[in-house]
């Protein structure tokens, strides 16, 4: 008799910058979610798919839960909260270096109204003294009855496989939702835009805050070997446009160069990437512009 197949959905929640996207990329084996040392990097609910012969886990990397300051922030938080009641298990990830914060208490209060197994995953344990983990575990155990507490390093891969084996026990018998080779449900256009935005955040450091978005305006496949992509980087202020372009276009050239490498890796084709910078004041509070850029509440 053949073994039964199991499948399920697992949400990854936590404060901004705890390593949720790094964990997702580690599990699926390639970059599908962008990473940055800036908080609130992830904006949309990104699904990563991990498939074995026996089961399929669909991980949902949610935007970091935080106190919103604009409509975009509200969208991000609402996306995370809605996800909690749609899944089979929840990973609550914290940063071992930062320890407990007010945002963690807010998340724990949310979890008290959710009837799902919750795993506390303490990430970045490779960056702290070994004995420091015990006080963290005691503190969080006193606040919530977690199903399991698992220390990991998403960057190094430490204990990640053990976590997956625990989560496998939460999966019910069910279908394989996606083909074996599938690693994300997001279209190529979305991934391209995110890779460009990642390079903006990484190369501009503190000069350009999160008031930046990327819109893929045109994609044309010239032949089997070449893809032409035209994209605009959208910011809120004219002063930021100058920073993004740089002296004699140097910054924009570097952003394009770095993004092109990652996009070529995903597409397996040579990429010709054209970038422009556009100023759209107040776009993060403009419902119409948010909708045009793909932030649609009704999808969730």
- How many CB atoms lie under 10 A from the CB of residue 167? 24
In a domain, 83, yes or no: yes
Same domain? 137 vs 235: no
In a domain, 182, yes or no: no
Q: Which of 146, 173, 200 is the last residue of a domain?
A: 173
Same domain? 213 vs 261: yes
Residue numbers of the domain that contains 122: 6-173
HEC string of the chain? CCCCCEEEEEEEECCCCCCHHHHHHHHHCCCCCCCCCCCCCCCCCEEEEEECCCEEEEEEECCCCCCCCCHHHHHHHHHHHHHCCCCCEEEEEEECCCCCCHHHHHHHHHHCCCCCCEEEEEECHHHCCCCHHHHHHHHHHCCCCCCEEEECECCCCECHHHHHHHHHCCCEECCCCCCCCCCECCCHHHHHHHHHHHHHHHHHCCCCCCCEEEEEEEEEECCCCEEEEEEEEEECCHHHHHHHHCHHHHHHHHHHHHHHHHHHHHHCCEEEEEEEEEECCCHHHCHHHHHHCCCCHHHC
Same domain? 36 vs 138: yes
pLDDT at 180: 85
Report the distance separating Cα 18 and Cα 123, nearest Å. Answer: 7
Of the candidates 240, 242, 220, 245, the one whose C-alpha atom is nearest the C-alpha of residue 230 is 220
Same domain? 155 vs 126: yes
In a domain, 178, yes or no: no
In a domain, 284, yes or no: yes
Same domain? 69 vs 22: yes
pLDDT at 64: 52
Of the candidates 284, 258, 280, the one whose C-alpha atom is nearest the C-alpha of residue 271 is 258
Same domain? 40 vs 143: yes
In a domain, 67, yes or no: yes
Same domain? 50 vs 152: yes
- How many CB atoms lie under 10 A from the CB of residue 206? 6
Report the distance separating Cα 45 and Cα 153, nearest Å. Answer: 22
Same domain? 26 vs 144: yes
CATH (domain of 201): 3.30.300.20
For the chain, the domain total comes to 2
Q: CA triplet 174, 175, 180: central angle to 5 degrees?
A: 130
In a domain, 110, yes or no: yes
Same domain? 121 vs 226: no
Residues 6+ apart with CB under 8 A from 261: none
Same domain? 282 vs 159: no
Of the candidates 67, 64, 89, the one whose C-alpha atom is nearest the C-alpha of residue 6 is 89
User: pLDDT 10s per residue in the chain (300 long)?
Assistant: 457 999 999 989 888 778 888 898 899 887 665 554 444 444 445 678 899 999 999 898 776 554 545 444 555 556 556 668 778 999 999 999 998 987 898 889 888 888 899 999 999 999 999 889 999 999 999 999 999 999 999 999 999 999 999 999 999 999 998 888 787 766 677 778 888 988 888 888 766 656 688 888 888 887 768 889 999 998 888 888 988 999 999 999 999 999 998 888 777 788 999 999 988 887 777 667 666 666 554 333
Same domain? 199 vs 153: no
Same domain? 223 vs 251: yes
In a domain, 134, yes or no: yes
Residues 6+ apart with CB under 8 A from 57: 7, 8, 9, 10, 27, 49, 50, 51, 164, 167, 168, 171
In a domain, 1, yes or no: no
CATH (domain of 117): 3.40.50.300
């Amino acid at each position: 008799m053949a073994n039964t197949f199991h499948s399920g959905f697992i949400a990854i929640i936590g404060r901004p910058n705890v390593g949720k996207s790094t964990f997702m990329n580690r599990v699926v084996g390639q970059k599908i979610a962008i990473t940055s040392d800036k908080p609130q990097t992830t904006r949309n609910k990104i699904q990563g798919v991990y498939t074995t012969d026996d089961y399929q886990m669909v991980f949902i990397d949610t935007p970091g839960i935080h106190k919103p300051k604009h409509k975009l922030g509200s969208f991000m938080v609402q996306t995370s909260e809605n996800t909690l009641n749609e899944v089979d298990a929840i990973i609550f990830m914290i940063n071992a270096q930062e320890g407990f914060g007010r945002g963690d208490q807010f998340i724990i209060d949310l979890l008290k109204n959710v009837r799902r197994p919750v795993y506390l995953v303490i990430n970045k344990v490779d960056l702290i003294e070994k004995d420091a983990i015990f006080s963290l575990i005691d503190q969080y155990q006193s606040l919530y009855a977690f199903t399991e507490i698992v220390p990991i390093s998403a960057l190094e891969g430490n204990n990640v496989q053990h976590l997956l084996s625990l989560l496998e026990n939460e999966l019910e018998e069910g279908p394989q939702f996606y083909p074996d080779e599938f690693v994300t449900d997001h279209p190529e256009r979305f991934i391209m835009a995110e890779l460009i935005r990642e390079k903006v955040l990484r190369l501009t450091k503190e000069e350009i805050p999160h008031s930046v978005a990327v819109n893929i305006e045109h994609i044309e496949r010239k032949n089997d070997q070449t893809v032409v992509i035209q994209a605009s980087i959208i910011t809120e202020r004219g002063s930021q446009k100058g920073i993004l372009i740089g002296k004699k276009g140097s910054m924009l050239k570097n952003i394009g160069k770095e993004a092109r490498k990652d996009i070529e890796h995903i597409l397996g084709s040579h990429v010709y990437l054209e970038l422009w910078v556009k100023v759209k004041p107040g776009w993060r509070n403009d419902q119409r512009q948010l909708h045009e850029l793909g932030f649609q509440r009704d999808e969730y």
